[in-house]
Amino acid sequence: MIWAEKSLLGCMMMAPEDCEGVYGRVRPEMFENEALARMFGCCQELRKKGLRADATTLIETLGEEYKALVLECAETAPGLAGFESYIACLREGWRERAILTGLDELRISGMDASGLTRALGQLWQSQQALEEAEGERTAKDWKEGMGDFLGWLGADRPALATGFAGLDRLTGGLPQRGVTAISARPGGGKTSFALQIATQVSKGRRVLYQSLEMPREQLYTCIFARALGLDSALFRDRALTPAQRQRVAQAARLLEEKYSLIIDDRDCAGLQQLEANILRFKPLVVVVDHLGLLTPHKARSQRNEELAGLTRGLKQLAMKRRVAVVELVQAGRSSEGRPMTMGDMFGSATIEQDADLLIGLEAEDPGPGGEGRARARVLKNRAGALGCVEFYWRRRYHQFMEVQARGEQPRPERKGKS
């Protein structure tokens, strides 16, 4: 978690006045790196003296040997937007180290079984108190956004229902601790499809929607247009009537009370920032929109190598943090007019390898009425069958509706050789 420690100190140097809250939640001993711990302690001392703990003052206080590290911290933090995430990440790393150290001490303590049991109980209670204290703080932060509605309904199930009954029957839902890839051609509705799934899942479960392409206002437009059956152009043009605006306000209150959907629309988010958000908000499902805009940890000469690092990183993140990851992927226009295959996805080799569930979204031209057919083609499914689920796509309302009127069922297909 060294990157989080550097980013936190970078924020503190960037705007000391806006980071006062850190001193009640972080202490020098929580830092893994001793030099960074000393920098934080120096910031504390400067604050007590009424001095501003910026980069220049830190270098003057600590000496020239700290200049390179101070400047590195200042360059690491992209901005104050991730401040809370850096604190959460730092505290998580400190708690992990404290637990492992406590267990090592118990292992060599020579205590009998009764003594070890009591010591383990004390260790658990101390960590539980820390987790509850931080959880209360996070809940307050979330309430300021869309509300704190933690419902871990079905959290022990191997998969999560998407809210589309036919798709869930075919796939078993979103795999926990796994990656679901949803691919469509540009303008093919993958954001609307994924956002509808995210909203449906978030009724009872916390979902993080990491948007790298559309600002939060456009995503809320999609949500309310679908929920209220209002043309999204009315939101875009600010042409809602007073009565319609009142309906939007009522729907917003319902979302705050019963849904737990967190939307982060910061630019250039990388895997580290995504992990920090997971530690901060503790979601059960994470949607990345879209893979091509996720910033790689290291720039590579070949784009395919960067995508390989990102897809593998998302898979490891899903396993490590026990979340279901949904990644949106661009498909080539060459697939138009025919069934989609895994080879149509940009960076397909690594996506195919790392994804547990892979869905190709195919949409017909909706025509002048703004409605048309679409299908979700399951191209890979480690937990079940392959097949195709039919939808109506109401583009103006950003809504996908499963075709069930004539009792149609998802069409299963036999798996090919993997």
Dig out the tokens for 312 from the structure.
Answer: 């593998």
Is the peptide bond between 290 and the residue preceding it cis, with omega within 30 degrees of 0?
yes
DSSP assigned state of 296: P
Give the pLDDT band of residue 200 (cuts 50, 70, 90).
very high
At residue 378, φ and ψ (nearest 5 deg) are -80, 110
What are the extents of the domains in the chain? 2-143, 159-413
DSSP assigned state of 391: E
Q: Are 398 and 392 in contact (CB under 8 A)?
A: no
Strand 206-211 relative to strand 260-264, pairing: parallel
101-156 per-position pLDDT tens digit: 888 888 888 888 887 788 787 777 776 666 655 544 444 444 444 444 344 334 44
d(CA 408, CA 217): 36
Per CATH, 2-143 and 159-413 having the same topology is answered: no
Mean pLDDT value across the chain: 81
Residue type at position 251: A
The pLDDT of residue 142: 45
d(CA 301, CA 319): 28
Dig out the tokens for 383 from the structure.
Answer: 């937990």
d(CA 361, CA 190): 7
Give the pLDDT band of residue 416 (cuts 50, 70, 90).
very low
More confident residue, 291 or 209: 209
Strand 179-184 relative to strand 206-211, pairing: unpaired
The pLDDT of residue 300: 57
User: Average pLDDT, stretch 211-240?
Assistant: 90
Domain 2-143 has CATH 1.10.860.10: yes
47 pLDDT above the threshold of 90: no
Q: Are 292 and 346 in contact (CB under 8 A)?
A: yes
351-386 per-position pLDDT tens digit: 888 889 999 999 887 666 678 889 999 999 987 789
Give the pLDDT band of residue 181 (cuts 50, 70, 90).
very high
Residue type at position 225: A
Counting every residue, how long is the chain?
Answer: 418
CATH number listed for the domain at residues 159-413: 3.40.50.300
User: Alpha-carbon dihedral of residues 156, 159, 163, 165, nearest 10 degrees?
Assistant: -120
What interhelical angle do 67-76 and 34-48 show, nearest 10? 90
The pLDDT of residue 294: 78
